[in-house]
Amino acid sequence: MRRLLLSLLCAVVTTGALVAPAHANTSTYVKSATNAFEKLDTLTITFEGDVPVKSVRASLRPTRTTTTPPVEVTEFTLGEHQGGRQTATATGVRPSALDDYVVDVEAYDTDDRKIAVDTWGSYRFFWLIRPKIQMRLDRTAVDVDHPVIVADGSVTGTWPTGEVAPLPGRTFHILTESGFSGSPRIPVTTDTEGRFTATLTPGPSIAAEMNCDHTPAIADLGCTFTSATAIKITKASSRLSLTSTPHTVAAGGTVTVGGRLEGFQGGQWRPLPGRPINLRIRDDHGRGPADRRLTTDANGRFTTRVTVKVHHGFTATWAGEGVFYNEISATASVTVPTWVHFRNVTAKLTPYGDFSFSGTAWGGDRPLTRRNVTLEYSLYGKTGWREVRKLPLNYAGEFSTRMTIGQSGHWRVRYLGDASHKPSTSPVRKTWRWGTRMPAMKVSPTRVRRYGFVTASGVLNRYYNTKQRKPTAFKGQRVRIIFRFKGKKTWYHLGWDTTDSRGRFSARVRAHGDGYYAAVFHGTKDTWAVGSPNTPYVDTYGSSAGRAPTDVVSLDFLLGRQVVTAGAPAAGTAGFAR
């Protein structure tokens, strides 16, 4: 059963292939209608399609003249219809006027249906003189010493009837950059004998064309063009100088900007007179007046005067010339020194002598970078300024320093100046602290039972003005009492006391063991910190039971120092020295 079904299925498929329906006939249309160069008076119309052509007629309409009437062509010889293709030929078609004609075709097939035309474009019948340009160049290599090419030759024409004759008084074009749509087009007109001569400024290649890309077209001529001839161009060297005199002026000053243009000709540098120079004038932000147009003199020189208020740059440009000289530029500048402005200048001095100084230096409208400023100190801020150290400026124009000092005074930074910036000084900053003094303190008793009590006492004095010969009592100030064990370095806080009207302080503190005692004053907003110049010793005895001190302090740097300065203090300055 399976074999029977397969046999029937194959039979159905095979039979279906044999009974496929026939295709319908393809409509006939006009494929082309034109004349060939070898037989210009023969119009050939080509048809394609399955239905043969029955009748044909054509009308030739001129496209370049409006006075010439159309030419009607009715006598055609129909060729045999083969392979879906058929031709109709009319001989002896000779319009009375030379022109480029459009062919309108009207034809019918054997089914009396009008035959359509191809929609791709119009059909043409060329009844024109075919021109021919013969051109010779006197050289194919040029340089600045041989800058031109002479082209000569002749133009002839072949008439539709086959006659050949010169074409006098006809204009064609020579292209000096053949193949480039924007090529210069030099018009050339033939003489009475159809000959021509032209002197050309050359380009990369030279060719000639007639009536190929010209609107409106010359009515009686066809198109022709020559092959391109490559031209070897040797570039010439040029040099352009530019200077600004003087190079540095004050704001509002006038400078002379000028230079010279030269070209290498005949084996030596020669001035290039009468050439246009464009001078661009811009400040550091690209702002400036309109460009100036200058012209070189007989010596190739040019000059102008410019008034400037800030730094300016100048760019002189020559656009080059023809194919030999390329564009060339030169630059110069004028410097207008500006003040250096110091911003955010800050000085700080703690009671312990920690000094910091910082700020930013700006040269004009931008940070001053990769330079140094000098930090200077003066006691009273008017005279006697002396250099302390050099401070480098970072990429943002910032400077800063830290150090330990022991004397009040005034501070500033100074920039020594350079070609672009004037010597400049920052605002002065005052760091003023009055001196404090603490005579030797006392602790009693000097021998006591461990964890018993001792009394630490002393006096705190200060200066209030520069006329004081000796310090006076500093009342109402807190003084810290500290202690360290014998053989140890760690100091411990024991207690506070406040000075009375005579600057005295006295604190009852516990004796934790054998060791040393000291007093410390931390200073105020306008006074120095100070410590006792001595560290009295107390001996303890008895049981070691009890609680040891735990409040650690780090103030030993104040102890035993009454005056600490960045240098030797000036006479009479003890009142504001530490």
Say what the pLDDT of residue 120 is: 66
**Smallest Cα–Cα separation from 136: which of 149, 148, 155, 151?**
151
Q: What is the pLDDT of residue 217?
A: 72
Q: Among candidates 463, 479, 464, 457, which has minimal Cα distance to 530? A: 479
Q: What are phi and psi of 338, to 5 degrees?
A: -115, 160
Asked whether residue 577 is assigned to any structural domain, the reply reads no
442 and 552, same structural domain?
yes
Closest CA to 314 of 287, 276, 280: 280
Shared-domain flag, residues 147 and 49:
no
In the chain, what's the furthest Cα-to-Cα distance?
Answer: 154
Contact criterion met (CB below 8 Å) for 75 and 99: no
The secondary element (H helix, E strand) that includes residue 9 is helix 2-18
Q: Nearest Cα to 549, choosing from 464, 483, 496, 503?
A: 483
DSSP-derived letter for residue 576 is G
Task: Give the number of other Cβ atoms within 10 Å of residue 203's Cβ.
Answer: 19
- Going by DSSP bridges, is the β-strand pair 354-363/340-349 parallel, antiparallel, or unpaired? antiparallel
**Which residues, listed in sequence order, are joined to residue 59 by a DSSP beta bridge?**
72, 104
What pLDDT was estimated at residue 567?
29
C-alpha R_g of the chain: 55
What distances in angstroms separate CA 93 from CA 40, 67, 76, 77, one per listed residue?
Answer: 8, 19, 11, 13
Please give the Cα distance from 269 to 237 (Å, whole number): 9
Whether residues 327 and 356 fall in one domain: no
Long-range contacts of 546-549 (CB under 8 A, 24+ apart): 546/450, 546/451, 546/512, 548/512, 548/513, 549/483, 549/492, 549/493, 549/494, 549/512
Q: What is the pLDDT of residue 571?
A: 35
Q: Are residues 247 and 329 in the same domain?
A: yes
List, in sequence order, every residue forming a beta bridge with 39; answer none if it has no partner: 36
Phi-psi region of 172 (alpha: psi -120 to 50; beta: other; left: phi over 0): beta
Q: Give the separation between CA 18 and CA 422, rounded to whole angstroms.
A: 107
Q: Has residue 12 been placed in a domain? A: no
Q: How many domains does the chain have?
A: 5
Q: What is the mean pLDDT of each run of 10 residues along the chain (578 residues)?
A: 37 35 67 90 94 94 89 94 94 92 93 83 88 94 90 94 92 85 88 95 88 73 90 92 93 94 92 96 88 96 94 94 90 93 96 95 91 95 95 96 93 93 95 94 96 96 90 96 93 95 96 94 94 95 70 62 33 49
Tell me, what CATH number does 146's domain have? 2.60.40
Q: How far apart are CA 377 and CA 26, in angstroms?
A: 109
Terminal CA-CA length for the chain: 127
Quote the pLDDT of residue 542: 86
Is 18 part of any domain?
no
Q: Within a domain: residue 5? A: no
Distances, alpha carbon 116 to alpha carbons 34, 51, 109, in Å: 17, 12, 10
Picking from 530, 548, 537, the residue whose alpha carbon sits closest to that of residue 514 is 537
pLDDT for res 572:
40
CATH number of domain containing 510: 2.60.40.10
Q: Is 565 part of any domain?
A: no
Note whether residue 95 is domain-resident.
yes
- Residues 455 and 525 reside in one and the same domain: yes
Same domain, 452 and 482: yes
In terms of domains, do 351 and 314 share one?
no
Give the domain range for residue 381.
Answer: 340-431
Q: For residue 91, is it within any domain?
A: yes
Q: How far apart are CA 516 and CA 67, in angstroms?
A: 133
In what helix (H) or strand (E) does residue 141 lie, and over which residues does it extend? strand 141-142
Q: Is residue 8 part of a domain?
A: no
pLDDT value of position 240: 97
Q: Where are the beta strands (DSSP E) in 231-353?
A: 232-233, 238-245, 253-265, 268-271, 276-283, 292-295, 301-308, 312-318, 328-334, 340-349
Residue among 458, 464, 454 at smallest CA distance from 480: 458
Q: Which of 366, 401, 431 is the last residue of a domain?
A: 431
My answer on whether 306 and 198 are in the same domain is: no
The tokens of 51 are what? Answer: 């239905």
* Sequence-distant (≥ 6) Cβ neighbours of residue 193 within 8 angstroms: 154, 166, 168
- Find the CATH number of the domain harbouring 90: 2.60.40.1220
Domain end residue (candidates: 77, 94, 127): 127
The DSSP annotation for 426-451 comes to PPPEEE--B-EE-PPPEEE-SEEETT
Are both 454 and 547 inside the same structural domain? yes
Residues 354 and 321 both lie in one domain: no
**Cβ contact 189:198 at 8 Å:** no
Among candidate residues 188, 209, 233, the one where a domain is terminated: 233
Tell me, yes or no, whether 409 and 444 share the same domain: no
420 and 517 share one domain = no
183 and 228 Cβ atoms separated by less than 8 Å: no
Burial (CB count within 10 angstroms: exposed 0-12, middle 13-18, buried 19+), residue 386: exposed
